[in-house]
Chain A
Amino acid sequence: MATPYLYIAPAFVVYAAFLLFPLARAAQFSLYAWDTVSPAKFVGFGNYLTMFNDPELLGSFGHSAILILFYAVLPICLGLVIAAILNRAQVRGLGFFRTVIFLPQVIAMVVVAVAWTRLYSTDGSINALLRLVGLGDVTRAWLGDYTFALPAVGLIGTWVETGLVTILLLAGMGRTPRDLYEAARLDGAGPVAEFFAITLPAVRGEIVVAATLTVVAALKNFDIIYMTTRGGPGTSTAVPSYQVYNQAFGLGQVGMATTIGVTLALLIFVINLVLNRLGDRAAED
């Protein structure tokens, strides 16, 4: 038997060189103040302290929290309703439906951003629709509005993630034993009671998976922000993912850029751990 280490070594070397090593370097960089021109200066956890005391940088993490509502919470609620309805009765065209709702997942985010920028523009179809239903007063350049730019970006996320969540949940519901539903119906349970008594508990595991994927997507949404708002207007849509790029290559604050990057990585790591725990508990019950 050939030694397993030989099978793993080539993969490990590339993986370590381009992922593990730069991650360690990021942790190291984050302890320095460096503007790429003058020599780096060791500042300890100074960058982290600055970040937590800077309302603008801290605010970008707050924006991510709001985006999580749009990328994760809203798609999971919508997905539960859609999947539960589809699961109850068989309908024709489910295959076509699956193809269509999954499509946003495979389209480059850059392209998604171009499409939505047009929809949100002053003469785009969202404003046209609003005028059509007599809401002409609320029309605006959505992505240029201090209040509405962030929710507008968030709704792009809702559009992208809902299909993925629905398909995950449909698969979970399909695995639920049919006789549970038969029994509930014999007991006279309506669609709503059935949903809370059987469907929802049965897909807790899938909800955790969906939450993990969508929360991480909400935190790593550089492409959409770069293409639609560049963090603006002002800093109303600035998110950590964009700040990393902007601090390093816009402002030349490499230490701060890596500090935000490391914090983002830690945040994603903790979210994964917490959701994994929840998933394990769901599996035990």
Chain B
Amino acid sequence: MARQRNTSPVEVGINYVVLVGFAVISLWPIVSILAQAFGPSDPSAATGGLHLENFVEAWSQGQFSSYMLNSVLVSVTVVLISVALSVPAGYAFGTMTFRGSSWLFYLFLFGIMVPTEAILVPLFFDLRQLHLVNTVVAVAGPQVAQSIAFGTYWMRTYFRSADRAITEAAIIDGAAPRQVLWRVQAPIARPAILTLVVLIFMWTWNEFLIPLVMSPTGTLRTAPLGLAFFQGQHVTNYALMGAAAVTVAAPVVLVYLFAQRYFIAGMTEGAVK
């Protein structure tokens, strides 16, 4: 590489120091919570090895079977509905010309900026009136709406740059417009759709404020809420707290480790475009 010629060994050395130093700071809280989770729950009676029993105990004491299941239920609902609705909307905005398309698009874009804090209080009282609080509708609904705002924008950006010749060829072959979208365009758009799926999954799994407000009786308490609840009871049992925290973070972190490029692409390009 041409530019390496101009870089002194001292500078390369400094680079490694910065890189390692910064990586250590980034990892420190993560490593310490892992150490907490796999460490002995009673340090004075410590025995060596990994204390996997912390996870078993935290899981049963914290009722994480039901909280994790609620999280799966809410996440799957939000991801499926949001993607199924955002893809056609983004497709229309990205490939068709129609009256009002631009202000209608800005109306969707506007939703990306609206903070949850602004809508949640009136929504709670209105849904309570409709007896929908403590249901999937109340917990998933606002998250679907927020995901649609981003998803429509994200898919529009993709479809604007997508190849239209394929669409035209498919129409000449006699495909109906709906088939063009789901059978022809969507499979090609797979990377963009996958990015959308992992982002919405992450946002929903990690969401705290919406399930906190929308499930006051705790019937739909999701995993992050379970952790908050658990903290209230076991604040000084660091081993159990650590195990519970690792359990809650694990699903998204695992998906991230396998689909890293989709996360980084979505969270950086989604903002830049």
Q: A242 to chain B: closest CB distance in Å? A: 9
Task: Say whether B253 contacts A103, CB under 8 Å.
Answer: yes
Contacts of A105 in B (CB 8 A): 263, 267
Q: Does A240 contact B (CB under 8 A)?
A: yes
Q: Does B217 contact A (CB under 8 A)?
A: no
Q: Does A114 contact B (CB under 8 A)?
A: yes
What CA separation (Å) do A216 and B217 show in the bound complex?
Answer: 30
Task: Say whether A111 contacts B248, CB under 8 Å.
Answer: yes
Task: Say whether B271 contacts A10, CB under 8 Å.
Answer: no
Map CB proximity to B onto A125-144 as digits: 1 under 8 Å, 0 otherwise: 10000000000000000000
What CA separation (Å) do A92 and B271 show in the bound complex?
Answer: 28
Contacts of A98 in B (CB 8 A): 264
Map CB proximity to A onto B230-251 as digits: 1 under 8 Å, 0 otherwise: 0100000010011001101100
Known: A89-B12, A241-B117. A18 touches B144 (CB 8 A): yes
B1-45, CB < 8 A from A: 1-4, 6-7, 11-12, 14-16, 18-19, 22-23, 25-30, 32-33, 36
A14-33, CB < 8 A from B: 14-15, 17-20, 22-23, 25-26, 28-29
Contacts of A272 in B (CB 8 A): 113
Map CB proximity to B onto A192-218 as digits: 1 under 8 Å, 0 otherwise: 000000000000011001001100100
Q: Which of A97, A223, A265 contacts B23 (CB 8 A)?
A: A97
Q: In the complex, what residue of chain A is closest to B224 when comparing beta carbons?
A: A110
Binds B, one of A43-51, A53-61, A146-154, A254-262: A254-262
Q: In the complex, what residue of chain B is closest to A1 when comparing beta carbons?
A: B177
Contacts of A277 in B (CB 8 A): none
Q: Does B123 contact A (CB under 8 A)?
A: yes
Q: Which of A4, A26, A28 contacts B96 (CB 8 A)?
A: A4
Contacts of B228 in A (CB 8 A): 110, 226-227
Task: Say whether B148 contacts A159, CB under 8 Å.
Answer: no
Task: Say whether A25 contacts B122, CB under 8 Å.
Answer: yes
Contacts of B205 in A (CB 8 A): 108
Q: Which of A15, A167, A245, A265 contacts B148 (CB 8 A)?
A: A15
Contacts of A109 in B (CB 8 A): 206, 208, 224
Q: Which of A15, A114, A205 contacts B33 (CB 8 A)?
A: A114
Tally of contact residues, B, Cβ under 8 A: 94
Task: Say whether A178 contacts B231, CB under 8 Å.
Answer: no
Task: Say whether B241 contacts A82, CB under 8 Å.
Answer: no
Contacts of B144 in A (CB 8 A): 14, 18
Task: Say whether A100 contacts B26, CB under 8 Å.
Answer: yes
Q: Does B188 contact A (CB under 8 A)?
A: no
Tally of contact residues, A, Cβ under 8 A: 96
Q: B114 to chain A: closest CB distance in Å? A: 6
Task: Say whether B178 contacts A268, CB under 8 Å.
Answer: no
Contacts of B7 in A (CB 8 A): 88-89
Map CB proximity to A onto B93-114 as digits: 1 under 8 Å, 0 otherwise: 1001010010010011001011
Q: B117 to chain A: closest CB distance in Å? A: 4
Contacts of A104 in B (CB 8 A): 26, 30
Task: Say whether A264 contacts B115, CB under 8 Å.
Answer: yes
Q: Does B189 contact A (CB under 8 A)?
A: no
Binding site for A on B (CB under 8 A): 1-4, 6-7, 11-12, 14-16, 18-19, 22-23, 25-30, 32-33, 36, 81, 85-86, 88-89, 91-93, 96, 98, 101, 104, 107-108, 111, 113-126, 141-142, 144-146, 148-149, 152, 177-178, 181, 202, 205-206, 208-209, 212-213, 223-224, 227-228, 231, 238, 241-242, 245-246, 248-249, 252-253, 256-257, 260, 263-264, 267-268, 271-272
Give the top 10 A-B pairs by smallest Cβ distance, nearest first: A18-B145, A25-B122, A7-B92, A11-B89, A265-B118, A4-B92, A108-B206, A22-B119, A19-B145, A261-B118
26 sampled A-B residue pairs with Cβ under 8 A: A1-B96, A7-B89, A8-B89, A8-B104, A11-B86, A12-B89, A15-B111, A22-B119, A23-B119, A26-B122, A85-B18, A89-B4, A90-B4, A91-B15, A101-B26, A105-B263, A107-B30, A112-B29, A119-B29, A125-B28, A168-B268, A212-B271, A213-B271, A226-B228, A261-B119, A261-B120
Given A18-B142, A103-B256, A261-B121, 11 additional A-B pairs, CB 8 A = A1-B96, A14-B144, A88-B3, A105-B263, A111-B246, A114-B231, A115-B29, A209-B271, A220-B115, A223-B208, A258-B122
Binding site for B on A (CB under 8 A): 1-5, 7-8, 10-12, 14-15, 17-20, 22-23, 25-26, 28-29, 36, 82, 85-86, 88-91, 93-94, 96-112, 114-116, 118-119, 125, 159, 162-164, 167-168, 171, 178, 181-182, 185, 191, 205-206, 209, 212-213, 216, 219-220, 222-223, 226-227, 240-241, 244-245, 248-249, 254, 257-258, 260-262, 264-265, 268-269, 272
